[in-house]
Amino acid sequence: MKKNDIPDIIISRLPIYLRALRYMQDQQKETTSSQELGEHVGLSAAQIRKDLSQFGGFGKQGTGYNIRFLVENLREIMKVDRVWDVAVVGMGDMGHALTRYQGFTDRGFRVSMVFDNDQRKVGTSVEHFLVQDIHNIVPAIRGSGIKVAMLCVPAASAQQVTDLLVEAGIKAILNYAPISLSVPSGIRVQYLDPSIGLQRMTYYLD
Amino acid sequence: MKKNDIPDIIISRLPIYLRALRYMQDQQKETTSSQELGEHVGLSAAQIRKDLSQFGGFGKQGTGYNIRFLVENLREIMKVDRVWDVAVVGMGDMGHALTRYQGFTDRGFRVSMVFDNDQRKVGTSVEHFLVQDIHNIVPAIRGSGIKVAMLCVPAASAQQVTDLLVEAGIKAILNYAPISLSVPSGIRVQYLDPSIGLQRMTYYLD
């Protein structure tokens, strides 16, 4: 099946399924149903079945899903059955927090380079990483072959730094800066903007 | 129109539209089109028109949208034409970063209380906030009337703290812990899990 055959919205739900299934594994569960998985992630059983059928199913009518089998397949589909090196750009509070974040373990990612433009930070250490000068970011990332970056610079410089990341060969950017980024086609951006997360809920509040 | 008439997926896109429109305002633009807005946010013009038509439109055929008018309306719809007080729970790296985060200004939120369970942190200051003891979280939040919380505790205690937040009257939780939370109906949870953001992109990488 070609990549483009599967809608982005379905791909965007797979990591949610994987997180819920890993949680079930931690609870020593071995099988689950589309009903149960749906309750975990707030979707209907029909939606779960429809999404997973895009990849050929994984379950048998009546017996449900083998969790370990489904986890292995989802990890392979999302290509997180390997470990991706990630560059963190901007060593402010958020960049620091991400560099020290323990939650990437076993989920397909590890921080492997960190950058800042502040000469007082360049050359110092964050965790066991040497903070590199953002002025060298293009050759540094190109040389490493890193494809994934987390962008934690202020909004005012986020687009400029993004252009450098694209030039450096980065294909996937997790953006913490609270602005929309402009990137060439073929480059993926995901936004982790806390205001967006909060604004998605206030609509429902009294 | 009743709340439940509008699909969650549409509500979840409104903050993205708002961010793009605010960006256009910063660029001194006064009008935009569904085409242009769509390009900004990676959706089709038809989708934009369809989403906004749920609220009665806002644009005239041929003349496009008045940005300021659309911004004002979206802010009102999402109820971010006011300022929501937010509790930050867990003063690790992420909680610190969020407490100091400058990106909430003018987007409808302000941190107003911070909590931790570590007695070495309780009573100290983060920014100008006194770190309060998590053991007092239920009366403290109840007394304040705060409805929104950001959860930055480790995964292992996230569910237990969530139960306290629900008991305290919190209705909307922005969850940074990398686990799925179980909450009663009527309580909203949004996940800001960097691994999920990254996993949504690796599928497309070679």
Q: Which residue of A has its CA nearest to B196?
A: A15
What pTM was computed for the model? 0.85
The answer to whether the complex's ipTM is over 0.85 is yes
Q: Work out the mean pLDDT of chain B and round it to a whole number.
A: 92
**What per-residue confidence (pLDDT) applies to A61?**
66
Other CB atoms within 10 A of residue B129 CB: 17
Question: Which residue, A144, A182, A147, is CA-closest to A162?
Answer: A182
Phi, psi for B105 (deg, rounded to 5) = -55, 130
The answer on pLDDT for A3 being more than 70 is no
Q: Does B129 touch chain A (CB under 8 A)?
A: no
Beta strands in B8-167 (DSSP E): 31-32, 59-60, 64-66, 84-89, 109-116, 125-126, 129-133, 148-151
Spatial distance between the Cα atoms of B199 and A12, rounded to a whole number of angstroms? 8
Nearest CB to B172 within list A40, A78, A201: A201
> Hey, what are A100's tokens?
């020290």
Query: CA angle B169-B170-B174, nearest 5°?
Result: 170
Spatial distance between the Cα atoms of B152 and B165, rounded to a whole number of angstroms? 13
Spatial distance between the Cα atoms of B189 and A65, rounded to a whole number of angstroms? 26
In this structure, what DSSP letter does residue A181 have? P
Q: Does A77 touch chain B (CB under 8 A)?
A: yes
Average pLDDT over residues B16-45: 91
Q: Does A111 touch chain B (CB under 8 A)?
A: no
**What per-residue confidence (pLDDT) applies to B182?**
87
**What per-residue confidence (pLDDT) applies to B40?**
84
> Hey, what are B175's tokens?
């969850």
What lies within 8 Å, CB to CB, of B115 at 6+ separation is B87, B88, B89, B90, B91, B131, B132, B133, B134, B137, B140
**What per-residue confidence (pLDDT) applies to A13?**
92
The identity of residue B136, as a single letter, is N
Contact present, B91 and B121 (Cβ < 8 Å): yes
**What per-residue confidence (pLDDT) applies to B61?**
66
A78-99 per-position pLDDT tens digit:
999 999 999 999 999 899 999 9
Average pLDDT over residues B130-136: 97
Taken as a whole, chain A contains a residue count of 206
In this structure, what DSSP letter does residue B55 have? T
B140-174 per-position pLDDT tens digit:
999 999 999 999 999 899 999 999 999 999 999 99
The answer on pLDDT for B1 being more than 60 is no
**What per-residue confidence (pLDDT) applies to A4?**
56
* Portion of chain B with pLDDT greater than 70, in percent: 96
**What per-residue confidence (pLDDT) applies to A1?**
46
A136-175 per-position pLDDT tens digit:
999 999 999 999 999 999 989 999 999 999 999 999 999 9
**What per-residue confidence (pLDDT) applies to B3?**
53
Please return the burial class of A87, using the count of CB atoms within 10 Å of its CB with bins 0-12, 13-18 and 19+.
buried
Establish, for the pair of chains A and B, how many residue pairs have beta carbons separated by less than 8 Å.
196
